[in-house]
Structure 1
Amino acid sequence: MPLYSKQSLKIYNSLTGEKEIFSPVHEGNIGMYVCGPTVYSNVHLGNLRTFMSFDVIFRYLLHLEYKVRYVRNITDVGHIVDDVDEGEDKIAKKARIEQLEPMEVVQRYTVDFHEILKAFNFLPPSIEPTATGHIIEQIEIIKKIIANGIGYESNGSVYFDVKKYNETKHYGILSGRNIEDMLANTRDLDGQSDKKNPQDFALWKKAEPQHIMRWPSPWSDGFPGWHLECTAMSTKYLGNHFDIHGGGMDLKFPHHECEIAQNEACTGQTPVNYWMHANMLTLNGKKMSKSTGNNILPGEILSGKNTILSKPFSAAVTRFFMLQAHYRSILDFSDDAILAAEKGYKRLMEALTILPNLATNSTTSLNIAAWKQNCYDAMNDDFNTPILIAHLFEGVRFINLLNENKETISTNDLIDFTKTMQVFILDILGLNEEKSSDNTISKLEGMISMLIGMRNQARADKNFALSDQIRDQLIALGIQLKDGKEGTTFSIQ
């Protein structure tokens, strides 16, 4: 019997605004699509948080023994500046500024994206399609939408007729908007006259003479609309109706709204059962922005080359920091917050190293089965990682008591407890141990031993002021000394 049949998973569905019991389209199999990056710049920290949220979701679904097809795309064409239908493609603009071919820009930042995700211990998706690799599929979808009377050609471009669609469907069902509000808030843009209505969005854009990225189509040499790309790639690999579609909160409108409309207009089917959206990340209480300097890239956290943080932090600590908040809540990133997370992460990982050395008894003082189910219940409640982490720290407290011989555990319970701690920390949360080179560790231990020797000499000379100074300064660096019968030992907090 697969593990998923023993657990009741609930997912918050952005479409209904409620937590719903998860039931896949096909039993035991899950199709999940997540909107990937537009590769015209380095992946930013907010994007990293979104992808990390879905990495944990992917990991948990795999742990529950579902067969998961996880599709996360690469947007390498068609994403217009400011996410409107008029303007310059972000990749083409970057290529023009840096005097590169657009695909050089795509390659550079796709490599950066993969390197960053690997550093942060992400599992790769099952399929990672590119928008440029699916131009034919996009053209075929446009043909069907036109044939169904919901799309129209105008001066070589093709637009989605929102008012026509809204006669039988609800454009705005995901974001809770209506056409009247959209009409009132629509800006006048160059080229707007090509549309029947201001709220219509592009399915295909005719390329201007200077536009580099272009493909032939029945309507013009041009390029696809941004929204259409995800519709083509998600349905090709997951079918016209699949389980989960995810992305950042900022994609709910217009991107995901347009995806729903396009799929309905093309196939007549509701595309997705569960829409999931990760919330935003702020920096020092403010929106992250390159223009104001209130911005930090993931690589800058690892290197320490930034003006925001007091020191470098590992990918594992940064990951732990992000998972301390629920994926649907706003999370503020700051030096104080990640310093606190670093201490918590070290406590968690140190407890794992103690586990193999614990002694066993005939009885167990903690109800391991109930604690274990609490861990599952947290993840079953819309992937609530902060509650899970709280239960894991209950486990840490129990480990420390066992290590001090203040609690007892049976052999069988220790095996189950150890496996549960390891699975949730390493496999599901995706936290791994920070790695230091043997040479670095040896040098650090040698330096601390030298300071312990200096402190011992100071105590022998009754120079207690120097002795206390050495101890206190080591504590400030997170190095705790412990005096015992066998001499002085240390631990790094």
Structure 2
Amino acid sequence: MTPLYKSQNIQIYNSLSGEKESFKPIDEGYVGMYVCGPTVYSNVHLGNVRTFMSFDVIFRYLKHLGYKVRYVRNITDAGHLENDADVGEDRIAKKARLEQLEPMEVVQRYTVDFHNILDKFNFLPPSIEPTATGHIIEQIELIKTIIDNGFAYEVNGSVYFDVHKFNESHDYGKLSKRKLEDLIHNTRALDGQSDKKNPQDFALWKRAEPQHIMRWPSPWSDGFPGWHLECTAMSTKYLGEQFDIHGGGMDLKFPHHECEIAQNEAAKGQTPVNYWMHANMLIMNGKKMAKSTGNYILPGEIFTGNNPNITKAFEPGVARFFMLQAHYRSVLDFTNDGLLASEKGFNRLMDAIKVLSDLKAGTNSTIDITTWKQSCYDAMNDDFNSPVLIAHLFEAVKYINQLKEGSESLDQKDFTTFKETIHAFVFDVLGLENTSNTETGADKLSGAVDLLIKMRQEARINKDFSLSDKIRDELAELGIQLKDGKDGTTFSLN
């Protein structure tokens, strides 16, 4: 059977060129994709979830087309210092110090949280999930090569990448479209960076201070690797010196990904990645997310409703559907109204699929299913445009209603194609889960609480305030908090 990728032409927006380019993998039928994973020192941020969800859909679509995909997404468990800089405390070590834990206890706790949250959102696991601490030897060998090639220097047990020397024969800044001259002009000297020849240089290896817990022996000192180096070592180990796709959040373009390119070119003499892809940021209620202002929500709080920024709990599938209604390269504004609207749309889509499962084929076709099917592929082929795909799926909902009413019909061949295409794009590609077909425990709980809310409202109308308060208080004791608002009463789980 001929794989689907033979008949589909994917266009990917390449951050390196700033243009959409036809996707042609290095080896036909095979795709190597690396995505920068989380630094596991806290609960996974919703913005991170959005980035990983974008690449989960890309992974799913490439697999759907018949590509054999090796998807590598790392875990950063050492070397990522505060403020993404070369000075300051290790983020994981700092968390360990504050909570009086071993650093690897912190790593384990938040790696488990990361996996649990992604499981709830129905992510496919990556092919390989390497850790930075598991690849210290590879990183040391990479540093040796960069030093031997004349692009790094050692001072006081630390090793720094010589950006100025590199830029004499290469283009440092080509991904982020920055010029070294501008970086020099805009850089101020910082305390603790005096070991560097130039402020723009970045650490490949840092000598550990006596109080630094996370340390490994190296030819230069007991220390730890630079954050940028980790991804270079892990991506090339599992995908080769040159691979197809490298992804991450927009915030990683500079300096992290810029430094990855420089390290690879300095060590291997060639650019490492053919297609650089960057997912845009997530904001909330029109503003930047920030714990300090309360304009913030953890992924798990979406499922319980226990956050002042939302009025109720939402199923993971609804939240996933909400995020996929925006293109991965556009800013997404996370709002309660947006979630409520997505819940209606999600339920409408799932209800239609349930109706479709009960319908039968007719004797002739009055709908052009071939054109509709290709429009779904065209949407995903156009830089993985999930919102346009979703629009085509709602066109299918209209067709389903027409088939149900009998105003349109499909013969057996088209009917089978229609059903298979909808299932492929809704479940396999977008990764949505059909929770509307079965009543879950959450559904039953929601129904029971809604019944009690109605009883409480009737009690209040009848001025039976003791019963009204009793329902509210006893629900609160069970961890169910009622919220009275202008649009009625909602509940959340504490």
TM-score of the two chains, using structure 1 as the length reference: 0.89
Q: Distance in 1 between matches of 2:352 and 2:443?
A: 22
CA-CA distance at 1:102 after TM superposition:
0.5
Q: Which residue of 2 aligns with 1:123?
A: 124
Structure 1: gaps of 5 or more residues: 452-475, 478-493
Q: Which residue of 2 aligns with 1:308?
A: 309
CA spacing shift, 1:365–1:308, aligned 2, 3 Å: same
CA-CA distance at 1:251 after TM superposition:
0.1
Does residue 1:426 correspond to 2:427, yes or no? yes
Q: Distance in 2 between matches of 1:161 and 1:47?
A: 31
CA spacing shift, 1:354–1:182, aligned 2, 3 Å: same
Q: Distance in 1 between matches of 2:114 and 2:188?
A: 33
CA-CA distance at 1:184 after TM superposition:
1.7
TM-score of the two chains, using structure 2 as the length reference: 0.89
Q: Distance in 2 between matches of 1:172 and 1:439?
A: 50
Does residue 1:135 correspond to 2:136, yes or no? yes
Q: Which residue of 1 aligns with 2:94?
A: 93
Q: Which residue of 1 aligns with 2:113?
A: 112
Residue identity matched to 1:67: K
Q: Which residue of 1 aligns with 2:482?
A: none
Does residue 1:179 correspond to 2:171, yes or no? no
Q: Distance in 2 between matches of 1:75 and 1:440?
A: 37
Q: Which residue of 1 aligns with 2:480?
A: none
Describe the superposition over 1:146-193 as per-residue Cα deviations: whole angstroms up to 9, x where unpaired.
000000001110000000000000000100001111112223222211
Does residue 1:57 correspond to 2:70, yes or no? no
CA-CA distance at 1:443 after TM superposition:
9.7
Q: Distance in 2 between matches of 1:9 and 1:440?
A: 39
Residue identity matched to 1:109: Y
Q: Distance in 1 between matches of 2:418 and 2:309?
A: 39
CA-CA distance at 1:357 after TM superposition:
1.5
Q: Distance in 2 between matches of 1:214 and 1:372?
A: 55
CA-CA distance at 1:439 after TM superposition:
9.9
Describe the superposition over 1:126-159 as per-residue Cα deviations: whole angstroms up to 9, x where unpaired.
0000000000000000000000000000111000
Q: Which residue of 2 aligns with 1:437?
A: 440
Q: Distance in 1 between matches of 2:343 and 2:386?
A: 17
Q: Distance in 2 between matches of 1:348 and 1:186?
A: 52
Q: Which residue of 1 aligns with 2:195?
A: 194
Q: Which residue of 2 aligns with 1:30?
A: 31
Task: Give secondary structure in 1 for the equivalent of 2:367.
Answer: coil
Describe the superposition over 1:96-120 as per-residue Cα deviations: whole angstroms up to 9, x where unpaired.
1111110000000000000000000
Residue identity matched to 1:48: V
Q: Which residue of 1 aligns with 2:74?
A: 73
Task: Give secondary structure in 1 for the equivalent of 2:134.
Answer: helix
Q: Distance in 1 between matches of 2:217 and 2:286?
A: 47
CA spacing shift, 1:440–1:155, aligned 2, 3 Å: closer
Does residue 1:328 correspond to 2:329, yes or no? yes
CA-CA distance at 1:431 after TM superposition:
0.1
Q: Which residue of 1 aligns with 2:460?
A: none
CA spacing shift, 1:220–1:57, aligned 2, 3 Å: same
Task: Give secondary structure in 1 for the equivalent of 2:194.
Answer: helix
Q: Distance in 1 between matches of 2:298 and 2:343?
A: 18
Does residue 1:296 correspond to 2:297, yes or no? yes
Describe the superposition over 1:188-227 as per-residue Cα deviations: whole angstroms up to 9, x where unpaired.
2222110011100000000001001000000000000000
Task: Give secondary structure in 1 for the equivalent of 2:433.
Answer: coil
Residue identity matched to 1:97: L
Describe the superposition over 1:254-307 as per-residue Cα deviations: whole angstroms up to 9, x where unpaired.
000000000000010110000000000000000001121111000010111111
Q: Which residue of 2 aligns with 1:15?
A: 16
Task: Give secondary structure in 1 for the equivalent of 2:292.
Answer: coil
Q: Which residue of 1 aligns with 2:164?
A: 163
Describe the superposition over 1:326-381 as per-residue Cα deviations: whole angstroms up to 9, x where unpaired.
00000000000110000000010001101122133222121000000000000000
Q: Distance in 1 between matches of 2:109 and 2:445?
A: 38
Q: Distance in 2 between matches of 1:440 and 1:175?
A: 47
Task: Give secondary structure in 2 for the equivalent of 1:167.
Answer: helix
Q: Which residue of 2 aligns with 1:367?
A: 368
Contact 1:54–1:246 (8 Å) recurs in 2: yes
Task: Give secondary structure in 2 for the equivalent of 1:417.
Answer: helix
Residue identity matched to 2:115: H
Q: Distance in 2 between matches of 1:36 and 1:82?
A: 17
Residue identity matched to 1:357: D
Task: Give secondary structure in 2 for the equivalent of 1:287.
Answer: coil
Q: Which residue of 1 aligns with 2:4?
A: 3
Q: Distance in 2 between matches of 1:372 and 1:439?
A: 35
How many residues were matched structurally? 451
Q: Which residue of 1 aligns with 2:153?
A: 152
Correspondence 1:446-457 to 2 at 5 A: none
Does residue 1:102 correspond to 2:103, yes or no? yes
Task: Give secondary structure in 2 for the equivalent of 1:326.
Answer: coil
Residue identity matched to 1:338: L
CA-CA distance at 1:436 after TM superposition:
3.0
Task: Give secondary structure in 2 for the equivalent of 1:166.
Answer: helix
Q: Which residue of 1 aligns with 2:478?
A: none
Q: Which residue of 1 aligns with 2:397?
A: 396
Q: Distance in 2 between matches of 1:286 and 1:441?
A: 35
How much identity, in percent, do the aligned residues show? 70
Residue identity matched to 2:440: S
Residue identity matched to 1:65: G
Q: Distance in 1 between matches of 2:75 and 2:29?
A: 27
Q: Distance in 2 between matches of 1:444 and 1:391?
A: 32
CA spacing shift, 1:402–1:36, aligned 2, 3 Å: same
Q: CA RMSD in A?
A: 1.7
Q: Distance in 2 between matches of 1:276 and 1:404?
A: 44
Q: Which residue of 2 aligns with 1:482?
A: none
Q: Which residue of 1 aligns with 2:354?
A: 353
CA spacing shift, 1:407–1:441, aligned 2, 3 Å: farther
Q: Distance in 1 between matches of 2:441 and 2:168?
A: 68
Residue identity matched to 2:390: I
Describe the superposition over 1:377-417 as per-residue Cα deviations: whole angstroms up to 9, x where unpaired.
00000000000000000000110111111211112111110
Correspondence 1:451-470 to 2 at 5 A: none
Task: Give secondary structure in 2 for the equivalent of 1:193.
Answer: coil
Contact 1:86–1:189 (8 Å) recurs in 2: no
Contact 1:304–1:313 (8 Å) recurs in 2: yes
Contact 1:79–1:89 (8 Å) recurs in 2: yes
Structure 2: gaps of 5 or more residues: 455-486, 489-494
Q: Distance in 2 between matches of 1:322 and 1:383?
A: 14
Q: Distance in 1 between matches of 2:341 and 2:367?
A: 28
CA spacing shift, 1:178–1:212, aligned 2, 3 Å: same
Q: Which residue of 2 aligns with 1:338?
A: 339
Q: Distance in 1 between matches of 2:101 and 2:247?
A: 32
Describe the superposition over 1:437-487 as per-residue Cα deviations: whole angstroms up to 9, x where unpaired.
379559959x99xx9xxxxxxxxxxxxxxxxxxxxxxxx99xxxxxxxxxx
Q: Which residue of 1 aligns with 2:213?
A: 212
Residue identity matched to 1:151: A
